[in-house]
């Protein structure tokens, strides 16, 4: 069992990954049917996030590992940049765009025949916007200035990639989890918290008329998300009433258990509430995507076998319900292997064991969660 704790954990995982990197072929004992083939047989598409180096992050990213890239190419037909298309990555300053890292991943995806989703044209929380924007003086005509900055960003990014990106997370996480209200940021005094969302979708439709335009958020099953779900419904309904060009809701699907067992929600009432939510969203004429699936095992017992079984069961319960909606066509994991998962850094386990919330372990060996994904995809009603 690999331990994960800050820098020593990073070194430990690095060692494991060197050993994994020696394998460049698909090992004979890996699953015969790829997840993308299983998904395709049901009219679905399967994919994953992939990240390159991120300055100042403790997280490890798999793009530099040939074995991990081979795994992604084998299992996936969709790809999304984990970080490289965010404002913080693309916009070192107001007057500069930096596309090198985003381009590299996109080019690799294309050589492998993968389609890339774009994430994200506006992440509303100030924490994930660049410091220069958070501190910006919008001048004497602030509404015009704010509109111009948002428009320029969306125009430049979408036009650079054109039809190479056919689906965009236009706006990410506008709704505050705690109270269901929209998040304030540097744009909100000038454009409004709702207004900036609407504008972002209008600009995206103007400059990427070919693309599927998605609102992406992490509201999930369970009581923990009651206000969050209500806030998302209110936002989507508001956008619809104003005829804003929104096509789909991205369900991030970071499922799992919290300390009080409330996070993921399993059991009758939680599942009914989740269906009610999905019914309302699809009732608005919106499509669904699973955009960032993984399972947090932060509060599960240490024993590896039991933990893996529980992780698979939590994941499968969520997938079975959610995949029953034929309006859902795309399923993406937020990373395919534990060594490269954000879960190791955000909310680590108190026993410092590596979290096991993705389909493959740190040696790139498949786990019960991979089987659960395969089974859920197989059981999905055909599209
Ligand atoms: O996994 C991503 C991590 O490497 C970044 O540090 C972080 C901030 O940019 O974002 C993580 O990805 C998030 C995604 O962009 C939006 N939904 C939640 C994801 C996990 O935090």
pLDDT of residue 15: 32
Does ligand 1 come within 6 angstroms of the Cβ of 277? no
Query: Which residues does residue 287 pair with via DSSP β-bridges, in sequence order?
Result: 248
Pocket test for ligand 1, best of 252, 342, 357, 358 (most atoms within 8 A of CB): 342
What pLDDT is attached to residue 90?
A: 98
Query: Whose Cα sits closest to atom 5 in ligand 1?
Result: 83
Residue ID of nearest Cα to ligand 1 atom 21: 342
Q: Which residue minimizes the CA distance to atom 13 of ligand 1? A: 82
pLDDT of residue 223: 87
Distance from C-alpha of 202 to C-alpha of 155, rounded to nearest angstrom:
11
Q: Is the CB of 82 under 6 A from ligand 1?
A: yes
Closest CA to 131 of 174, 93, 98: 93
Give the pair of three-digit tokens for residue 68.
């991990």
Q: Is the CB of 217 under 6 A from ligand 1?
A: no
Fold (topology level) of 7-379: TIM Barrel (3.20.20)
Q: Please report, for the chain, the start and end positions of each structural domain, with discontinuous segments joined by +.
A: 7-379
pLDDT for the residue numbered 252: 98
55, 58, 61, 82, best to mutate for ligand 1 pocket (most atoms within 8 Å of CB): 82
Task: Confirm or reject: Cβ of 252 under 6 Å from ligand 1.
Answer: yes
In ligand 1, which atom is closest to the CA atom of 86? 9
Between the CA of 141 and the centroid of ligand 1 the distance, in Å, is 33
Q: Whose CA is nearest to atom 20 of ligand 1?
A: 342
334 Cα: distance to centroid of ligand 1 (angstroms): 9
Would you state the pLDDT for residue 261? 57
Q: Which of 297, 289, 331, 291 is nearest to 314 (CA)?
A: 297
Q: Is the peptide bond before 120 cis (omega within 30 degrees of 0)?
A: yes
Residue 81: phi and psi, rounded to 5, are: -70, 130
Q: Whose CA is nearest to atom 3 of ligand 1?
A: 342
The number of beta carbons lying within 10 Å of the beta carbon of residue 259 is 8
Taking the CA of residue 342 as reference, the ligand 1 atom at the shortest distance is 1
Q: Which residues in the chain come in under a pLDDT of 50?
A: 1-24
How many angstroms is it from 82 CA to the middle of ligand 1? 7
The verdict on the CB of residue 168 being under 6 Å from ligand 1 is: no
Tell me which residue of 243, 311, 253, 244 sits closest to 277, measured CA to CA: 253
Which of 228, 334, 335 most suits a substitution to test ligand 1, by most atoms within 8 Å of the C-beta? 334
Please state, in angstroms and rounded to a whole number, the distance separating the CA atoms of residues 291 and 383. Answer: 18
- The whole-number pLDDT of residue 14 equals 33
Sign for the pseudo-dihedral over CA of 367, 371, 372, 377? positive
292 in contact with ligand 1, CB cutoff 6 A: yes
Among protein residues, the one with the nearest Cα to ligand 1's atom 4 is 342
Query: b/e for 279-290, b at 16 or more Cβ within 10 A?
Result: eebbeeebbbbb
Collect contacts of 222-229 with beta carbons under 8 A, ≥24 apart.
222/262, 222/263, 222/264, 222/265, 222/270, 223/262, 223/265, 223/270, 224/258, 224/262, 224/263, 224/265, 225/177, 225/265, 226/273, 227/177, 227/178, 227/179, 227/180, 228/175, 228/177, 228/180, 229/273, 229/277
d(CA 287, CA 4): 38
Q: What pLDDT was estimated at residue 131?
A: 98
Q: Is the C-beta atom of 342 inside 6 A of ligand 1?
A: yes
Q: What is d(CA 358, CA 343) in angstroms, rounded to the nearest whole number?
A: 9
């Amino acid at each position: 069992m690999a331990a994960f704790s800050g820098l020593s954990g990073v070194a430990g995982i690095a060692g494991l990954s060197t050993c994994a990197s020696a394998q460049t072929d698909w090992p004979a004992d890996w699953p015969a049917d790829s997840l993308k083939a299983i998904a395709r047989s049901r009219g679905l598409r399967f994919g994953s996030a992939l990240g390159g180096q991120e300055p100042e992050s403790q997280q490890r990213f798999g793009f530099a590992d040939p074995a991990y890239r081979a795994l992604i190419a084998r299992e996936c037909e969709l790809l999304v940049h984990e970080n490289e298309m965010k404002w913080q990555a693309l916009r070192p300053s107001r007057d500069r765009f930096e596309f090198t890292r985003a381009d590299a991943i996109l080019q690799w995806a294309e050589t492998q025949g993968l389609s890339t989703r774009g994430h994200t044209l506006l992440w509303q929380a100030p924490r994930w916007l660049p410091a220069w924007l958070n501190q910006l003086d919008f001048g004497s005509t602030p509404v015009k200035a704010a509109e111009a900055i948002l428009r320029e960003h969306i125009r430049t990014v979408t036009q650079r990639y054109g039809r190479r990106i056919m689906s965009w997370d236009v706006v990410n996480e506008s709704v505050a989890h705690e109270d269901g209200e929209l998040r304030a940021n540097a744009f909100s005094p000038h454009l409004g918290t709702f207004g900036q969302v609407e504008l972002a979708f209008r600009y995206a439709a103007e400059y990427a008329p070919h693309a599927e335009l998605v609102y992406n958020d992490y509201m999930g099953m369970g009581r923990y998300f009651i206000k969050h779900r209500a806030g998302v419904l209110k936002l989507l309904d508001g956008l619809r009433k104003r005829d804003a060009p929104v096509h789909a809701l991205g369900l991030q699907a970071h499922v799992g258990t919290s300390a009080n067992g409330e996070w993921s929600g399993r059991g009758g009432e939680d599942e009914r509430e989740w269906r009610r939510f999905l019914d309302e969203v699809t009732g608005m004429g919106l499509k669904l995507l699973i955009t960032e699936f993984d399972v947090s095992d932060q509060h599960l017992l240490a024993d590896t076998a039991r933990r893996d079984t529980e992780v698979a069961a939590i994941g499968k319960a969520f997938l079975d319900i959610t995949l029953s909606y034929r309006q859902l066509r795309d399923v993406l994991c937020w990373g395919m292997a534990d060594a490269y998962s954000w879960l190791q850094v955000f909310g680590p386990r108190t026993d410092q064991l590596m979290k096991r919330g993705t389909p493959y372990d740190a040696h790139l060996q498949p786990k019960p969660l991979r089987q659960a994904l395969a089974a859920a995809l197989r059981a999905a009603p055909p599209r």
